[in-house]
Structure 1
Amino acid sequence: MASIFQFKEFAVDQSDCAMKINTDAVLLASLVHVDSSERILDIGTGTGVIALMLAQRCADSEVIAVEIDPAAAKRAAINFRNSNFGDRMVMHACSFQDFTDTGSFDFIISNPPFYTDSLHNPDARKKLARHTNLQFFNELLTFAADKLQVDGQLALIVPKLLADELKEIAETLNLCLKEEIQIRSFEGDAIIRKIIVFQKAYRGVSTVSDFIIYEAKGVYSEMYKTALRPYFLAF
């Protein structure tokens, strides 16, 4: 049975995808600033939702995606073709390490696997999608430093402690923190995720902001509704 998530301007069929659409992905795609980017790369696209949201936002951008899971890559490619943005979207069924595009990018984005120390999931495909280690992030940041334009940006969404480790790695690669969005479920709660945005050779002051998902149990905040209103039918 098809598992289709209907957005305002496109639909995402999640069939065959180990990792379904989640809050991390839609927040990352809706909150980062990418509007002037000509070439965007989504690493680990999964269902393709982040790439599709960015294609909607950036009407003049080429959006390229890579996905290591063959079944998910095939499904994402179908989702791209079925959208109104298909002529500006390209799918590569490979890891970013094996990605052979020789061009550079204005913006690289990823909702990466981040369960670096948790127990392994018995489902092999979910394990591939959700488990990694710091070597993966070293490779990811090194890749971004090489493939980004002179003033290109990299945006990730990760847990707080991992974000702090990645900032240290990024500094060694001349990827400077430009923006940090601290995501909490409720106001006053602990930070559950951070969106971190790096820019090559950035010399400005980095900004820090808070984002609250819920104003009460089962009730989304105005922040959340505003961020997702261009995409979600419910808002």
Structure 2
Amino acid sequence: MAFTFKQFHINDHGCGMPVSTDAVLLGAWAPLTQAKHILDIGAGSGLLSLMAAQRSEADLTSIELDGIAVNACSQNFNASKWQSRFNLLHTSVQEFSATHQANTSIKFDHIICNPPYFKGGTQSNDRLRAQARHTDTLNFHSLLQAITQLLTPTGTASLILPSQSMPPFKEELDRSTLFIEQLTDIRDSDLKAPHRHLFTLRHSAIGSQSQTKTNFCIKKLDGRYTEEMITLITDFYLKY
């Protein structure tokens, strides 16, 4: 499926996860101010990396496990005006973390990830979609371990998860040296409970581990986007 944004074009070329509202929210919300080296874990078709390239002057490293997604991501990067700033790697985050630490002392001041979040349960018959959505190839423990190892001491990681995945994620987080610094609860409308959560992670040694919590509503009761949603996506969606 193809999707055209104001400054770039995405074609997922059969990737497991197509362009989604979750990914757009994360890519537009993540605090990238002054980031110089950004890591995109599980890049898929490259949407988050392309949004980060538009929003910053950073160099971007994008890692993706699936070969079909890597091919799509490469084509999307090469078709963009920021192609010289991308470094796309076909690897798992576990392997990347190990080899990166062995070969360089450079770490990332921002990490962005729309992680797999289902553990067990019925999986899609589409292998790529199942891989993108389930934690079989990247569980929360491995993800947090990689973020801990790859993030600079003062860096920030931005993620998004559905409500049902937050308790198991927080269980793993409590066993790590990271904490949630900023949490934004997302609801489809004012009549619905939050169903997604945007959040940032920092190393525990930074600050006093205080947390800022906000709310975000996607749509009005009549189905139109709220003003806060329009403000967030206006640099990306063609119709706004």
The code of the aligned residue for 2:215 comes to: D
Between the aligned partners of 1:224 and 1:113, the Cα distance in structure 2 is 24
Between the aligned partners of 1:165 and 1:51, the Cα distance in structure 2 is 27
Coordinate RMSD, CA, aligned: 1.6
Does residue 174 in structure 1 map to residue 180 in structure 2?
Answer: no
Q: Do the aligned partners of 2:16 and 2:130 also contact (CA within 8 Å) in 1?
A: no
How many equivalent residue pairs?
232
CA shift, 1:208, in A, is 0.5
In structure 2, the partner of 1:184 is 187
Identity %: 31
Does residue 106 in structure 1 map to residue 109 in structure 2?
Answer: yes
Between the aligned partners of 1:234 and 1:7, the Cα distance in structure 2 is 9
CA shift, 1:187, in A, is 1.1
Between the aligned partners of 2:213 and 2:191, the Cα distance in structure 1 is 16
3-12 vs 198-207, which moves further: 198-207
TM-score (norm 1): 0.93
CA shift, 1:166, in A, is 2.1
The code of the aligned residue for 1:210 comes to: N
157-166 vs 20-29, which moves further: 157-166
In structure 1, the partner of 2:236 is 231
Q: Deviations over 1:180-205 (max 9, x none)?
A: 01000001411111112111123242
Q: Deviations over 1:101-150 (max 9, x none)?
A: 33311111111111224311112121111111697110000111011101
Find runs of 4+ consecutive structure 1 residues off by over 3 angstroms: none
> Are residues 46 and 6 of structure 1, via their aligned partners in 2, closer, same or farther at CA, if it must alter by over 3 Å?
same
From 189, 194, 198, the counterpart of 2:197: 194
What are structure 2's unaligned runs of at least 5 residues?
Answer: none
Between the aligned partners of 2:61 and 2:200, the Cα distance in structure 1 is 19
Q: Deviations over 1:160-217 (max 9, x none)?
A: 2322332342233221211001000001411111112111123242111111011034
Does residue 66 in structure 1 map to residue 60 in structure 2?
Answer: no
In structure 2, the partner of 1:32 is 30
In structure 2, the partner of 1:55 is 53
Q: Do the aligned partners of 1:74 and 1:93 also contact (CA within 8 Å) in 2?
A: no
Q: Do the aligned partners of 1:16 and 1:72 also contact (CA within 8 Å) in 2?
A: yes
Q: Do the aligned partners of 1:163 and 1:196 also contact (CA within 8 Å) in 2?
A: no
Q: Do the aligned partners of 1:114 and 1:133 also contact (CA within 8 Å) in 2?
A: no
From 131, 140, 150, the counterpart of 1:147: 150
Between the aligned partners of 2:170 and 2:183, the Cα distance in structure 1 is 10
Q: Do the aligned partners of 2:39 and 2:60 also contact (CA within 8 Å) in 1?
A: yes
In structure 1, the partner of 2:219 is 214
What are structure 1's unaligned runs of at least 5 residues?
Answer: none
Output aligned runs, 1:75-114, within 5 Å: 75-99=72-96, 100-101=99-100, 102=104, 103-114=106-117
TM-score (norm 2): 0.91
SS at structure 2 position matched to 1:220: coil
Between the aligned partners of 1:184 and 1:118, the Cα distance in structure 2 is 25
